[in-house]
Amino acid sequence: MTEHTLKSFEEELNKLSAECARMGGLTEAQVADALTAVVKRNQDLATSVVTRDDKLDVAEREIERRAIRLIALRQPMADDLRRTVAAMKIANNLERCGDLAKNIAKRTLAIIEADPMTQLTRSIDRMGKLVLTRLTAVLDAYARQDLERALAVWSQDEDVDEHYNSLFRELLTYMMGDPRTITACAHLLFVAKNLERIGDHATNIAEIVHYQITGEDMIAPVRPKTDALSA
């Protein structure tokens, strides 16, 4: 390639990474607002999260379009190919996180019709903040190409699972103690499961970042997992 062609190629790669990082910011905002909506019982914010989900769908399609075009026209190899494919895979995981945030917001609209359950809400808040912290950290690892930070996120997957298991048992206790809480608790259980899945997507992104940087899969054949209650 000529120097001009190489420079143009690098600019395209940088734009692709920048679009992925921008989508990451939108996803963080969606997850954070969905969590705030359920904790604060904020109907307007929940509705806003549902409405804004389309932006993430558009962003994922644009990143996929850019990546496919780059592969077709530039035929990248080695590091450049991994960087291109990583952006496309990360965008897919971010879009799924956005869908899960939208689901949380939809559940919120039903939850706020029931009486507040402060203790359970606090448990949801703690779990949500842990998940959001992991999502922020892994997106920062991607932006900075920080392998150590990506590995730290990957190794902490079981922390989210432990929170989910604890919250699962807490919700069951409430439902058995007072059948009137069953509907609201069921919605909160789905909220907790959606948060746990967002944590899984953060772990997926950590694995993608690791492969992009090293060209190798994660050393452990199976990621840490303690969620004995999941199907």
Cα–Cα distance measured from residue 89 to residue 118, given in angstroms and rounded to the nearest whole number: 38
Q: Using alpha carbons, list the distances in angstroms from residue 46 to 30, 77, 112.
A: 10, 43, 10
Query: In this structure, is residue 76 part of a structural domain?
Result: yes
Q: Are 167 and 124 in contact (CB under 8 A)?
A: yes
The DSSP output letter for 114 is: S
Domain contains 49: yes
- The CATH number for 198's domain is 1.20.58.220
DSSP state of 229: T
Q: State the pLDDT at residue 227.
A: 47
Asked if residue 150 belongs to a domain, the reply is yes
216 sits in the region (left: phi over 0; alpha: psi -120 to 50; else beta) called: beta
DSSP character string of 87-106? HHHHHHHHHHHHHHHHHHHH
Q: What pLDDT score does 8 carry? A: 77
pLDDT value of position 220: 55
- For residue 14, being part of any structural domain is answered with yes
Within a domain: 27? yes
Among candidate residues 152, 143, 164, the one with its CA nearest the CA of residue 24: 143
Which pLDDT value is given to residue 186? 94
| Residue 70: CB atoms within 10 Å | 22
Q: What is the CA radius of gyration of the chain?
A: 19
pLDDT tens digits, residue range 58-100? 999 999 999 999 888 777 778 889 999 999 999 999 999 999 9
Q: What is the pTM of this model?
A: 0.89
Residue 150 lies in domain: 3-214
pLDDT at 230: 45
Give the residues of the chain that fall short of pLDDT 70. Answer: 1-6, 219-231
CA 125, CA 38: separation in Å to the nearest integer? 9
Asked if residue 231 belongs to a domain, the reply is no
Long-range contacts (CB closer than 8 Å, 24 or more residues apart) made by 67-75: 67/16, 70/12, 70/13, 70/16, 74/9, 74/12
Q: What is the DSSP string of 16-35?
A: HHHHHHHHHHHHHHHHHHHH
Q: Which of 222, 220, 171 is nearest to 195 (CA)?
A: 171
Q: Does residue 138 contact residue 126 with C-beta atoms inside 8 Å?
A: no
* Residue 204 within a domain: yes
Domains of the chain: total? 1
